[in-house]
Amino acid sequence: MRDKINIALVGFGYWGKNLARVIDEHPNCNLAYIVDVNPRALATAKKLYENSNCGIEVEECFLDEKITVVVIATPVSTHEFLINDALEYNKHVLCEKVMTPNTTLLINLFEKASQKSRILKEGHTFLHNSVVNYVKEAIHLGQLGKLYYLTFKRTGLGPYRQDVDVLYDLAPHDISILQHWFGLPKWVMANSRSLVKSNVADVVFVQLGYEEGLLVQLQLSWINPMKQRVIEVIGEKCMMIFDDVNTTEKLRIINTGVDYNKQITDFGSFQLSVKDGDIIIPNIKYQEPLKQEFDVFIQQVVGHKILETDKTTSVNVVTTLSAIADSMKKNGERVYVN
């Protein structure tokens, strides 16, 4: 019987609580440490995980040679030095997005992990989402026909972040999905508004241009009272709608219908034509993406398997985000992505 992997979780906030649960439930892992500087968070952690060592000193778990893995769920501004220190102590690292908004520093972190023969992985949970992968396969098999455009809506009332704006808080999810489906965009354009706190964008609209004229639009907001997590993929044969908030019908496929492109002579005929196609709700086996992501990471640690795709995805996401931020500063000017 293999010994359990001892893990230190740094950060027990909103997402850290989810990670603690997933680590604790994994059959091959032991949640040995929980570190947080917030006394209330630590008090909650001690009640929920009585067998874990809970404290505020992160170096204590780095010094413990029994700790194999460090999972980081702290503010973005702390990620770089925490990852660096964890790698210095020869720990494998899973860090929540984004590791750092600086592309050069990000590449350096991956190079350091490679030199240390350690796994460094960023928490892009949507890459392990069964609906996202279902849509990816449908796109690449041509089931939608020629793609026309995509829209992403990721909105809600906060929570406001102190370390990043709404772009770096919400967009990494959608950019990672787009990277997963299409790779890097050719160009981006973005505009933003700072409505609650000056100089902190809380509303952002983004356009991304891909090969063959494909257009994508992102709508990001911290001040929309309706929580939306909706992706619409529109093609010549059908439209796919992924609603991540919907617990029963996460994906709907609306077929265009045979009459869609026929000559329309009156309003009634138009109404009839767009309703012609069937609406299909595929039966997709849905497992919690965070559990899937963590299990893949643990398999990499056990197998000492460094994946180049981990680095490529993280670098491409940050490269795209940097280009969008540049366009925001230039009042919506088109910025080409290197």
For the stretch 146-177, pLDDT in tens is 999 999 999 999 888 888 999 999 999 999 99
* Assigned token pair, 37: 């500087």
In contact, 32 and 45? CB cutoff 8 Å: no
For 89-139, what is each residue's pLDDT tens digit? 999 999 999 999 999 999 999 999 999 999 999 999 999 999 999 999 999
Mean per-residue pLDDT over the chain, rounded: 93
Residues of the chain with CATH 3.30.360.10: 127-289+320-336
pLDDT band for 272, please (50, 70, 90 cuts).
very low
The shares of helix, strand and coil residues in the chain, as percent rounded to the nearest 5, are 40, 25, 35
In the sheet that holds 29-35, the strands lie side by side as 53-55, 29-35, 5-10, 67-72, 92-96, 120-123
Residues of the chain with CATH 3.40.50.720: 5-124
Architecture of domain 5-124: 3-Layer(aba) Sandwich (3.40)
- Find the mean pLDDT for residues 257-265: 54
- Find the mean pLDDT for residues 276-302: 92
For 241-256, what is each residue's pLDDT tens digit? 999 999 889 999 999 8
The confidence score (pLDDT) of residue 1 equals 43
- Of 303, 298, 324, 332, which Cα lies nearest the Cα of 25? 298
In the predicted structure, residue 19 carries a pLDDT above the cut 70: yes
Give the long-range contacts of residues 178-181, CB within 8 A, separation 24 or more.
Answer: 178/150, 178/208, 178/216, 178/320, 179/313, 179/316, 179/317, 179/320, 180/126, 180/127, 180/132, 180/136, 180/313, 181/135, 181/136, 181/139
In the predicted structure, residue 321 carries a pLDDT above the cut 80: yes
The confidence score (pLDDT) of residue 195 equals 94
* Assigned token pair, 269: 């005929």
Between 264 and 29, the more confident residue is: 29
**The pairing of beta strand 187-193 with beta strand 203-209:** antiparallel
* Assigned token pair, 83: 């990852």
Task: Classify residue 26 as exposed, middle or buried by CB count within 10 Å of its CB (0-12, 13-18, 19+).
Answer: middle
Return d(Cα 109, Cα 100) in angstroms, integer: 10
The confidence score (pLDDT) of residue 269 equals 57
In the predicted structure, residue 276 carries a pLDDT above the cut 70: no
In the predicted structure, residue 271 carries a pLDDT above the cut 90: no
Between 91 and 265, the more confident residue is: 91
High-pLDDT (> 70) share of the chain, %: 93
pTM score of the predicted model: 0.92
- Find the mean pLDDT for residues 22-45: 97
127-289+320-336 topology per CATH: Dihydrodipicolinate Reductase; domain 2 (3.30.360)
Return d(Cα 143, Cα 106) in angstroms, integer: 36
In contact, 190 and 205? CB cutoff 8 Å: yes
Between 338 and 50, the more confident residue is: 50
In the predicted structure, residue 214 carries a pLDDT above the cut 90: yes
